[in-house]
Amino acid sequence: MHARRPATLASLAAELGVSRTTVSNAYNRPDQLSPELRRRVLETAKRLGYPGPDPVARSLRTRKAGAVGLLLTENLSYAFRDPAALAFLEGLALACESAGQGLHLVPVNPQREDIANVHRAGVDGFVVYSVPDDDPHLAAVLSRPVPTVVCDQPRVEGVDRVGIDDHAAITKIAKRLISLGHRRIGVLCMRLGRDRNDSFVSLDRQRSAHFHVQRTRLAGLADTFTAAGVNWADVRVVERFDHSQASGESAAAQLLDADPGVTAIICTSDILALGAMTEAKRRNLRVPQDLTITGFDGITEARRVGLTTVRQPVLEKGKAAGKLLLGAAEANRQREITLETELVDGTTSAPPRTAEERWFGP
């Protein structure tokens, strides 16, 4: 029944007539006492039901918790739905596992600003994954006196960082579409701030977005298309708070309703792109003949449908974050890791139809 804690290291020591130190050593440093005594200690422990040194007390004394905290501002369960987040989690878990460290998922209620849970987590360090840069939980983590690694976040002074070059990555997509001939495009992006705005995005909101990744990708698109002679102010960008295929569908619908003339929809995630493809099919728009659609991430599902996208090594990101954090003691280590991305040419991108083709068929 494990009712109440019956024995402590001290009571065990008293029972045996030895010091607490000796009992402690029996568990932690077998070489520090005679095998015979150790045997007696362990045997008595079993008899009294002593479960071994209390992990919390040990942590207090040794100043090691044996666990890494993970902060995701989304509902914890979000991480289990989104393939990219999942792969990141897996990579991080692998790194923790091989270092014998636990992985402590910090519970966060995105509505209430529940900073307390960050302060309550007994961990040796934090990994922060893709939270808005003005998130109070992030601030709470940074205020804790433990090493931290941020991922898909803006740089923070003195904090290790893992990520990709989002600007360069999305530029690969943009350049490809430009070279195919696309000039009239639309964009679907994930949420840009903690407030919900399921609609078009003003230039101002684009620039002041609090999600680093989204802000940077939009900036990359703006820069590249502007350089190609497109007036970015005319490009419609549709935002969705929830990250799901359904969001991609409705966002694509909103975009196509507003401007049926777009020849390409660029999405800042594969999930959104998959939704957009569903919406295209509903409208009898053939992809890529009638409409080009691109994604971002390179998730398995995207590969299956042949989505044109940018693949990023999400699992490696998780691994890298873990290694960076757990190797924090190493001197002169690299403080920032930027992973490579790769353009994946799929079957969802093609040159736009000419005006003639639009009317008379290909």
Partner DNA sequence: TATTGGTTCTGAACCGTTACCGTCAGGCCA
Partner DNA sequence: TGGCCTGACGGTAACGGTTCAGAACCAATA
| Interface residue list for a second copy (CB under 8 A) | 1-2, 4-6, 51-60, 63, 65-67, 75-77, 79-81, 86-87, 89-90, 93-94, 96-97, 99-109, 114, 117, 119-122, 142-148, 158
The vertex-255 CA angle with 250 and 260, nearest 5°, equals 125
Residue 4 φ then ψ, to 5°: -120, 155
Report the partner that residue 312 touches, choosing among a second copy, DNA, none (CB closer than 5 to 8 A by kind): none
Q: How many CB atoms lie within 10 A of CB 296?
A: 29
* SS3 category, 337: strand
344: which DSSP letter? E
Find the helix or strand (DSSP H, E) in which 188 lies: strand 185-190
Residue number with CB closer to a second copy (221 or 321): 321
Question: Of these, 39, 62, 109, 196, which contacts DNA (CB under 7 A)?
Answer: 62
Q: CA 350 to CA 44: how far, in whole Å?
A: 75
- Decide: is 93 part of the binding site for DNA (CB under 7 A): no
Handedness of CA 223, 228, 234, 239 (dihedral sign): negative
- Decide: is 32 part of the binding site for DNA (CB under 7 A): yes
Q: CA 296 to CA 301: how far, in whole Å?
A: 12
Stretch that binds DNA, among 55-63, 130-138, 282-290, 307-315 (CB under 7 A): 55-63
Least distance to DNA, CB of residue 26, Å: 9
Least distance to a second copy, CB of residue 271, Å: 15
Least distance to DNA, CB of residue 9, Å: 3
Report the partner that residue 22 touches, choosing among a second copy, DNA, none (CB closer than 5 to 8 A by kind): DNA
Residue 315 φ then ψ, to 5°: -60, -40
Length of the chain: 362
Residue number with CB closer to a second copy (52 or 261): 52
Count of residues near DNA by CB under 7 A: 29
Report the partner that residue 104 touches, choosing among DNA, a second copy, none (CB closer than 5 to 8 A by kind): a second copy
Site string for DNA, 207-246 (x = CB under 7 A): ----------------------------------------
Question: Of these, 39, 43, 46, 60, which contacts DNA (CB under 7 A)?
Answer: 60
199: which DSSP letter? S
- Decide: is 351 part of the binding site for DNA (CB under 7 A): no
Report the partner that residue 21 touches, choosing among DNA, a second copy, none (CB closer than 5 to 8 A by kind): DNA
Residue number with CB closer to DNA (43 or 195): 43
Residue number with CB closer to a second copy (20 or 283): 20
- Give me the helices (H) in the chain, please: 9-16, 20-28, 35-48, 55-62, 83-98, 116-120, 136-143, 166-180, 203-207, 212-227, 245-258, 270-282, 300-305, 314-326, 355-360
Q: CA 292 to CA 165: how far, in whole Å?
A: 24
Q: CA 303 to CA 83: how far, in whole Å?
A: 13
Residue number with CB closer to a second copy (128 or 174): 128
Q: What does the binding site for DNA look like in residue numbers (CB under 7 A)?
A: 5, 8-10, 17-22, 24-25, 27-28, 31-34, 37, 50, 52-54, 57-58, 60-63
